């Protein structure tokens, strides 16, 4: 069961989430009674407004649980802008019990091969879905072309919706965001297609190549045509850090540079020493903040950090930045749940 709403002006997320769980405490018996009666319309009329009060753009469904009898899933529906809200909703949930657990994204289904999905009044048996898979060289993602015998009879939008739903059942919503690249819903069977149920094993093989922290070194040109160098975590994806939606940009001007405006001599050493102290500070926040990218060009280095607003990282970073002695540094903070500020570096 799901609900898709329209955009609305954001309120205070913490208050909205607290309001949902207060509603749940009093309404849970009624929700359970509606489930027992098989009253889907009554259940939707009860749950939909409560979820919409958190955000009308969130989706919800009730499925068999993993450890509990049932799971209430309130999800971003793959929208990175909403993912932090869904995770904060789940973090504020009461402890799971024998009857209920609460999840911020659709998990993979262990019985995916045996599932039959209803799509536009047709039955889509997962056992008949096949996939064409391609891993671009060096990329941390798999491009997927999905085909099912009913796809030629469906319109483009319905085929894509069915494909996304099937991928969520196979991998889980977050793993799709993490490892799947381009998605095509094909009207003909791809060459060298494999049964869809093999996708989790292929993803597991790919993930094993990225078990340890890696950084990618990049080079380019600024708008003015001068040389630019950058270092970015690889892979770099918001789904790996769903609560880190506060963007903190630290700008450090440096005085010693080479002919391209890149750090040199004493400034290069000072930047390395600063980043060592920054790394120690972020480690002390226990995963509540992470350095994602730094870019150097035209006598300035910009470091992009994402943090959980509850961690209070900006105040601590202000103290660190105040020790920088080359030029006038700055710390700029804004809300960026989709990591738009570093979108060219996302992988």
Is the pLDDT at 33 greater than 70? The verdict is yes
- Say if residues 309 and 246 touch (Cβ distance below 8 Å): yes
How many residues comprise the chain?
Answer: 347
Question: According to the model, what pLDDT value does residue 213 have?
Answer: 84
Over range 138-166, report the average pLDDT.
95
Q: Within its chain, how far is the Cα of 30 from the centroid?
A: 33
Domains and CATH numbers, the chain: 13-103 (no CATH), 112-210 (no CATH), 215-345 (3.30.70)
Does position 220 have pLDDT exceeding 80, yes or no? yes
Residue corresponding to tokens 């506060």? 246
Confidence category of residue 139, pLDDT binned at 50, 70, 90: confident
Mean pLDDT score across all residues of the chain:
93
Question: Is the confidence at residue 3, as pLDDT, over 90?
Answer: no
> In the prediction, which pLDDT does 288 show?
97
Which whole-number Å values give the CA distances from 35 to 48, 59, 60, in the listed order? 14, 18, 15
| Range picked from 7-16, 105-114, 281-290 for highest mean pLDDT | 281-290
Residue 94: which pLDDT band, with cuts at 50, 70 and 90? very high
Residue 269 is predicted with a pLDDT of 97
Band the pLDDT of 7: cuts 50, 70, 90. very low
Within the chain, where are the H helices? 13-37, 40-54, 83-91, 156-171, 173-179, 199-207, 265-284, 313-321
Tokens of 275: 């980043």
- pLDDT for 8 beyond 70: no
Predicted pLDDT of residue 12: 75
Q: Quick one: pLDDT band at residue 212, thresholds 50, 70, 90? A: confident
261 phi/psi in degrees, rounded to 5? 85, 15
136 vs 255 pLDDT, higher one: 255
Supply the pLDDT for residue 137: 85
pLDDT of residue 321: 97
Residue 338, judged by CB atoms within 10 A of its CB (0-12, 13-18, 19+), counts as middle
User: Which pLDDT value is given to residue 332?
Assistant: 97
Return the higher-pLDDT residue of 77 and 253. 253
Helix and strand numbers, DSSP H then E, in the chain: 8, 15
Tokens representing 47 are 């749950």
pLDDT band at residue 11 using 50, 70 and 90 as cut-offs: very low
Whether the pLDDT of residue 138 is over 90: the answer is no
The Cα–Cα gap between 136 and 106 comes to 26
Q: Give the pLDDT band of residue 24 (cuts 50, 70, 90).
A: very high
For 12-40, what is the mean pLDDT? Answer: 95
User: Residue 5 above 70 pLDDT?
Assistant: no
Does residue 14 register a pLDDT over 60? yes
Provide the pLDDT confidence category of residue 1 given band limits of 50, 70 and 90. very low
pLDDT at 10: 41
Q: Is the pLDDT of residue 225 over 60?
A: yes
Contact between 329 and 250 under an 8 Å Cβ cutoff? The reply is yes
């Amino acid at each position: 069961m799901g609900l898709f709403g329209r955009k609305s002006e954001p309120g205070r997320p913490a208050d909205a989430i607290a309001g949902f769980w207060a509603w749940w405490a009093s309404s849970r018996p009624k929700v359970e009674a509606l489930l027992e009666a098989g009253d889907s319309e009554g259940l939707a009329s009860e749950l939909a407004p409560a979820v919409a009060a958190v955000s009308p753009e969130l989706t919800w469904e009730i499925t068999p649980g993993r450890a509990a009898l049932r799971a209430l899933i309130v999800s971003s529906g793959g929208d990175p802008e909403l993912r932090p809200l869904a995770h904060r909703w789940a973090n504020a949930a009461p402890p799971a019990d024998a009857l209920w657990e609460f999840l911020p994204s659709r998990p993979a289904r262990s019985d995916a091969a045996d599932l039959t999905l209803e799509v536009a009044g047709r039955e889509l048996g997962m056992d008949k879905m096949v996939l064409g898979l391609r891993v671009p060289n060096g990329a941390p993602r798999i491009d997927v072309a999905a085909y099912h015998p009913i796809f030629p009879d469906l319109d483009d939008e319905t085929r894509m919706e069915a494909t996304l739903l099937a991928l969520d059942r196979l991998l889980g919503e977050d793993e799709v965001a993490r490892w799947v690249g381009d998605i095509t819903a094909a009207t003909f069977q791809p060459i060298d297609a494999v049964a869809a149920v093999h996708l989790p094993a292929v993803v597991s093989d790919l993930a094993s190549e990225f078990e340890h922290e890696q950084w990618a070194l990049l080079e380019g040109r600024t708008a003015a045509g001068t040389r630019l160098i950058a270092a970015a975590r690889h892979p770099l994806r918001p789904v790996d850090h769903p609560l880190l939606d506060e963007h903190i940009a630290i700008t450090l001007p440096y005085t010693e540079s080479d002919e391209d405006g890149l750090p040199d001599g004493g400034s290069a050493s000072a930047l390395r020493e600063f980043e060592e102290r920054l790394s120690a500070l972020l480690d002390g926040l226990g995963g509540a903040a992470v350095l994602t990218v730094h870019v150097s060009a035209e006598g300035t280095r910009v470091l992009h950090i994402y943090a959980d607003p509850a961690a209070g990282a900006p105040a601590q970073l202000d103290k660190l930045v105040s020790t920088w002695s080359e030029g006038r540094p700055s710390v700029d903070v804004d809300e960026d749940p989709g990591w738009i500020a570093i979108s060219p570096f996302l992988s």
